[in-house]
Amino acid sequence: MKVDTHGHFFSREYLERAPAYSTARPERDPFWRDHMQNLLLPDPTMWSLEGRVEKMDEEGVDFQVLSMVGPMVYFDDAEAAIEMARISNDAIAEACHSRPDHFGGLACLPLTAGADASLAELRRCLEENGHWGIAVGANVAGRPLDDEAFHPVYEELNRLGLPVLIHPMGPEGAEMLGDFFLISAVGFMFDTTAAVARLLFKGILERFPDIKFIAPHMGGAVPYLTGRWESAFARGGPHTALPHPPTHYLKRVYYDCLGFQVPSLRCAEEVIGCDRFLFGTDYPFHKSMTPAIGVIEGMDWTREVQEDVFHRTARELFPKLPESGG
């Protein structure tokens, strides 16, 4: 069985209406409007399940966990953020309810509307829609995930022991990455890396140990930079407030294996270990799921380890997964 923990789905209504709103980071609005109007909305695979199950069957993927991505619902108008969150979450829930043998869903929260609104939407999604966890941006309209405004949400996520997918949004300096797909190839990876680093060094991973954070795209550059983080910790300073060195916390995070090459995955395995590796494809942004499968199958892992990565570790996060593929 193969469980894709990193699939995407949007509400068509969201894509049609969201460009009218300003994000809480207005200098990025032109990028997001272009992204929604010219990339996502014209592509039915982003907002329709038609043909998706057939594509999954054809490529050997049994189940997919759906989430939305940037600009999420991080609008400066609180009411718009709340409404767009409901619309987006209901669309994912409807998709999952239509084919529960193939799909589970993660909710998005209107974090720019405040903790109370976010907690209300979280409760609604868990109790009414049956979402399995949440997805957050690696930054919230430019605010880091360790911002104290988000701590009440983390307290509830920690109490519930929920999975939280950290998806890149685009980092500071993204205006220099407009060519050659560098926003995706470089900027997104930096965004994820910076988010994990801040959660680690600010003590969020220590304070909220029962949140099951997922860093997609193999954690960005986390495996490659871990040695530098260990060195910074050893030198002292603010880092010494943590009771454990960085690797201790990084081994608590889950990572999908979407790095597109075996050597990168070997680096991640050597630094972090593969106990919390997941299978993820980023479909439909990547139109084929087979490259992600090929990298995992290209590792010199036993069948037992492959099965852990393809589906068994995902069950630690998503206990409602069906026992076998649809």
DSSP 193: H
CA distance 249 to 216: 16
Within a domain: residue 322? Answer: no
Q: Which of 163, 75, 94, 172 is nearest to 122 (CA)?
A: 163
Per-residue pLDDT of the chain (326 residues; tens, 9 = 90+): 999 999 999 999 999 999 989 887 777 778 788 889 988 999 999 999 999 999 999 999 999 999 999 889 999 999 999 999 999 999 999 999 999 999 999 999 999 999 999 999 999 999 999 999 999 999 998 899 999 999 999 999 999 999 999 999 876 666 666 666 666 666 677 889 999 999 999 999 999 999 999 999 999 999 999 999 999 888 876 656 788 999 999 999 999 999 888 999 999 999 999 999 999 999 999 999 999 999 999 999 999 999 999 999 999 999 999 987 55
Within a domain: residue 326? Answer: no
- Cα–Cα distances in Å, from 208 out to 82, 140, 145, 157, 245? 25, 19, 13, 8, 16
Report the Cα–Cα distance between both ends of the chain, in Å, rounded: 10
| pLDDT for the residue 136 | 98
Within a domain: residue 125? Answer: yes
DSSP 7: E
Q: Which CATH number is 31's domain given? A: 3.20.20.140
Within a domain: residue 214? Answer: yes
The parent domain of residue 171 ranges over 3-317
Within a domain: residue 23? Answer: yes
| pLDDT for the residue 159 | 98
Within a domain: residue 323? Answer: no
Within a domain: residue 145? Answer: yes
How many domains does the structure of the chain reveal? Answer: 1
Buried b / exposed e across 131-169, counting CB within 10 Å, b at 16+? bbbbbbbbbbbbbbbbeeebeebbebbbeeebbbbbbbb
Within a domain: residue 324? Answer: no
Q: Which of 324, 298, 260 is nearest to 63 (CA)?
A: 324
